[in-house]
Structure 1
Amino acid sequence: MPAKHGESAAADREHRVRAVAEPATMAAIALLGVVVVVASVHMGLTNALGVGPGMFPFVSGLLLAALGVAGAVTATARRRPPPEAEPASGGEPASGGEPASGGEPSTFTAVSWPRLATAVALLVAFVVAMPYFGFVVTLTVLTFALMTLVARRGLVLSIVLTLALSLGVYYGFGVLLDVYLPGPTVPFLAWMNP
């Protein structure tokens, strides 16, 4: 019986941590979106040619903020008491107990917290580094880092997808739409500016 009580206390503690961590993480993502929106407004949303260099980050920041708010609201609304440690009559788990497969439910709380922390740190680094290294260079490094460190994809696939995304963004915005993407300001990358 003491072992079951210890398991119940551990499950209760894990539930409390998850109940706070999930909405807090989603709120942090929403805050990051707001930071991107504010930074993009300073870059300029429009110019004499129409769409300015800050428009794409502005829209991305709005989406990120909206997803963060929606996730925080959903996580808060989804809070429920932890599953009962004692089985109900008949030897079956009480309602709200473990899933039929016996594994962890497939929810946001089942993610790897170190991977999530790495992804958030990379997004913050992207926002900080973009004014110095330009949009395309920073996006290339971010994509490669997300593919290898967070998604854990192979080196060849990561390189191929990173190059495809970076060249697609450069061609789509810089060539087809003729939209100025912020270029690098550091001297050793000045040759990349038009």
Structure 2
Amino acid sequence: MTAFAHETVSRTPRYHGAIFDVVSDQVTMSGGGTVNRDVVQAKSAVGVVAIDDMDRVVLIRQYRHAVGGYLWELPAGLRDVTGENLVTGAARELAEEADLNAGRYDLLIDLHTSPGFTDEKIRIFLARDLSEVPAEQRHVRTDEEADLEITWVDLDEALAMISRGEITNAAAVGGLLAAARARDEGWATLRPVETPEP
């Protein structure tokens, strides 16, 4: 079956913000005619599954206003530094949010976080050979990050937390499941960090 070539007939800007824009598109549909689709155009993000020699992963818990509560997540952040390579951005986020450096990075997974309304994507890396950022070099956390909680969890327990509904952040769920699968396959399915995005 040949995929229908959907076309954007018109685009109307609705909102411009620091993190995302919103547009309304008129799009041709395979059933005929056109429909209106509101799209959140996001900066996208990078994230990290950091795993130590004892098979523990680092999780962070921070407040997310949109859901009105705290979520368990991976160290992650926006692609908001001009010209920054994605693995460098991931390393920066790992240092800022979890006080960790990594001696090795591999590409773990690419995700579209919610493609029904946003083009946001996140590239998640696996970080190993971990060491602590020296105290005097640590990032000063503010805003939602000011009371950020950092914890180490056995990878299999993290999977159980997903099954119990304790981890619901999409990037964390995808990244942890992918890390467990990669571990179970002896890390053979990991990709180089330079792999082009889909």
What TM-score results when the alignment is normalised by the length of structure 1? 0.22
What TM-score results when the alignment is normalised by the length of structure 2? 0.22
Q: Which has the higher strand share?
A: 2
Q: Which has the higher helix share?
A: 1
Report the structure number with the largest CA radius of gyration. 1
Report 1 or 2 for greater relative contact order, CA contacts < 8 Å, sequence distance ≥ 6. 2
